[in-house]
Structure 1
Amino acid sequence: MTSTVRMSAVWHSYRGHTALRGIDMSLPVGVTALLGPNGAGKSTLMGVLSTVLRPQHGRIELNGLDPVRDRRRYRESIGFLPQNFTAPGRLTVSEFLTLSGWWRRVPRAERRDAVRWALDSTGLGERRTSKVDKLSGGMLRRLGVAQALVNEPTVLLLDEPTVGLDPRQRNALREVITELGRQHTVLLSTHLTEDVAALADRVIVLDEGQLVSDSTVSELTDREKATASDLDEVYERLLGAGKPA
């Protein structure tokens, strides 16, 4: 698969804490899981890729676009779901996505079709007239994915998309993400190995700002079809490597 995103020697620090330490990685089409404990640097990496944060050292490219030099075109190529996604409760689902299309610079003549596509892609078509504050937790997370899709980006950055969902809601959203990964580069930040086993083609493991593993799920676990238990075992071993007992 062709790589769309590359990071080379990316470092980022704040308030004396180094959150990313020389990250080198590439992201192809498909679902890549970003796995790590709290404080590993996952949200910082997402912030750097989304341009919410600016890397202090290193280089990022998205199909040749630099997030600093080509900021507008780079941003038009990505969709971002932050971990703490919120939307104005008084708007309908369709109104919010239309607003999202406007600020994501979707041309006015194309905005209605873009909203329809985002609704259909996330299974929200029947909720287009529902008020945001009437949505369940699972539907609100779907709306977060839909707003990330409305500009038809090349790359989707989903930060803990299944957090706070019950098992049924989580499974429904996983189906949406799996389908999106067939044609998009999806980076899914999570701390749940169940998400990785259900969704990911590849997995990147971060710990204390360092990349400790970057491989396919089957290579990492030595299993053709890995389970969450398989991933738990390897994950614990990776996080324990090189640390004092």
Structure 2
Amino acid sequence: MSLTDVVQVRGVSHRYGDVEALHRLELDFRSGVTAVLGPNGAGKSTLLGLLSTALRIQRGSVSVGGVDSARDRRRYRDLLGFLPQHFTMPGNLTVAEFLTLTAWQRMVPRRKRADAVDVALAAVDLSSRRDQKISTLSGGMHRRVGIAQAVVNQPEVLLLDEPTVGLDPRQRRVLRHLIVSLGRQRAVVLSTHLTEDVAAAADRVVVLDEGEMRFDGTVEEFTGGRGSVAADIDTAYDALVETGDDR
């Protein structure tokens, strides 16, 4: 499958009762890391829920490589890896045991599971922790195991919902480097409200506000060429969300 325009979001709207969380969203996610940026209530979590199939499509369509999330749900899910913001793991299992269980749940063939676990551990730099109980891991390592479970089936698309929240500065740096590395092999959709995540890890930025897309482009385009550090992104973001203008 080509990693150009891997994910297609077409005319997607979603409501919670009388509240419209997303309004006729038209969007493509390509190879590399795309940060979905927006304030609380912007529609970020709803978009991730629809992309991951945790929420059902009400209007419009979402597809990966032409595989529709509603019409071919099982095949669509096989193409995804997902790390929700709130993610729990069985602390009594070792890292390798948990990833082996996840590989079985993701329909990785028995003969390929051991290799799949090894590859996932190497991807998040936790090979040396494979036999360690999950309950003994630090917060940063927990998040890396969460990413490992999301990539154990070698997905075309990786969805990360606020993955750096709650981590200390060093753990955030490690995780951002990891996200950049994973984006070289697949489309990564990173939902965040932290402009530091965008500056350190993203190739592209999508800004959502009140359920609508306000911007879609590179980090350089977003800041108007002013720079790509967090302060530059903050300035561009504040101006965009305050005015509500499309760019």
Corresponding residue number in structure 2 for 1:155:
157
Q: 1:214 maps to what in 2?
A: 216
1:36 equivalent in structure 2: 38
**What is the CA-CA distance between 1:225 and the residue it aligns to?**
4.5
Give the partner amino acid of 1:155.
V
Q: Distance in 2 between matches of 1:3 and 1:225?
A: 26
CA contact (8 A) 2:37 2:206 kept: yes
Q: 1:231 to 1:209 in 2, by over 3 A?
A: same
| CA shift in 2, pair 1:242/1:175, >3 Å | closer
Question: Which one-letter code corresponds to 2:22 in the other structure?
Answer: L
1:35-184 correspondence runs (5 A): 35-184=37-186
Query: Equivalent pairs: percent with the same residue?
Result: 58
Match of 1:2 in 2: 4
Paired residue secondary structure (2:120): helix
SS at match of 2:67: coil
User: How far apart, in 1, do the equivalents of 2:93 and 2:46 lie?
Assistant: 30
For residues 237 and 181 of structure 1, the distance between their equivalents in structure 2, rounded to whole angstroms, comes to 28
User: Across the two proteins, how many residue pairs are aligned to each other?
Assistant: 243
Mapped pair 1:13 → 2:15: yes
Structure 2 residues without counterparts, runs of 5 or longer = none
Aligned to 1:230: 232
Is 219-228 or 44-53 further displaced after alignment?
219-228
Tell me by how many angstroms 1:58 deviates: 0.6
* Alignment partner, residue 200 of structure 1: 202
Deviation at 1:64, TM superposition (A): 0.6
CA RMSD across the alignment:
1.2
State TM-score, norm by structure 2: 0.96
Q: What do the CA deviations read for 1:31-76 (whole angstroms, capped 9, x no partner)?
A: 0000001111101100000011012101111101001111111100
- The question of whether the paired residues in 1 share the 8 Å contact of 2:34 and 2:189 is answered with yes
SS in structure 2 of the partner of residue 3 of structure 1: coil
TM-score, normalised to structure 1, is: 0.97
The CA deviation at 1:222 is 2.1
Residue identity matched to 2:38: G
Q: Which runs of 5+ in 1 are unaligned?
A: none
Q: Distance in 1 between matches of 2:110 and 2:162?
A: 31
The one-letter code sitting in structure 1 at the alignment partner of 2:182 is L
- Distance in 1, matches of 2:70 and 2:59, equals 12
Distance 1:159 1:135 in 2: 21
